[in-house]
Amino acid sequence: MSDLNGKTALVTGGASGIGYATVELFARRGAKVALNHLPDDARGTQAVARLRADGLDVIAAPGDVSKPGAAEAMVRDAIEKLGRLDYLANNAGTPATSEPIAPPDLDRVTEEFWAKILSTNLLGPFRCTHAAAAALRAAQGAVCNTASVAGLNMPGSSMAYGASKAALISLTKNLARALAPQARVNAVAPGHVDTEWTRAWPAERKAAAIERTLLRRHCTAQDIAGAIVFLCADNTMITAQTLVVDGGYSL
């Protein structure tokens, strides 16, 4: 497919998982893509090299979206290298924990924990969208934020994570108001996705998640990437919406 020739995209958190799958799909459809990754994450440079070796037009965009100033500088540098910006996928996020934190365990939800969650999962997408707004308006482009069913009254890795994703869904609507009518802003809300974080779960926890899902399988990173690219590139009349992609997990 080459229907996105001449288009450009920036994907945050692109070194692995949903972000990597989104970079690859945009690029395979002909777009030039900036892959954002943490500056000290070797997976980012390896991912760019691997995709370029496959003939895809991908460049590196190192930067930490959780840090004010660094996020905006990364976006500006990426836009300069790309020449324009049609699509922004705000995918970078963190659970900030290797194990789920049950709601009664309030002592583990510290001020530092909240700060890390919110700075990455909520302020990161705002910083990047704010920095990209002029370019997106000029291109009549689109934004897609990676939210979660944890922001829609489903249990997540922690109450802080769920709150950050609920806030991101609200932010999506207000950014859609802010960038209209020139650009659109939507979100995807994945359910249980087979990623590096969930792969480390005990077998019984993963089995229970699959059993809860109507389609009886994990979501894959490619499932979510397909929804992100669809919302960005395949329909120009959808904005301010959050698309649940969970195989019926939240039902």
The set of catalytic residues is 161
What is the total residue count of the chain?
251
Q: Which residues lie below 8 Å from residue 246, measured CB to CB, with a gap of 6+?
A: 149, 189, 190, 191, 192, 213, 219
Report the alpha-carbon distance of residue 13 to residue 65 in Å, rounded.
9
Report the alpha-carbon distance of residue 96 to residue 21 in Å, rounded.
22
By the 8 A CB rule, do 175 and 185 touch? yes
By the 8 A CB rule, do 92 and 18 touch? no
Strand, helix or coil at 35? strand
* Region for 240 from its dihedrals, namely left if φ exceeds 0, alpha if ψ lies in -120 to 50, beta otherwise: left
Structure token digits, residue 82: 């790309």
Instruction: Count the alpha carbons within 13 Å of 64 in the hemisphere toward its beta carbon.
Output: 10
Exposed (0-12), middle (13-18) or buried (19+): which is 64, by Cβ within 10 Å?
buried
Cα 64 to Cα 34, 39, 47, 127, 173: the distances in Å are 14, 7, 17, 11, 24
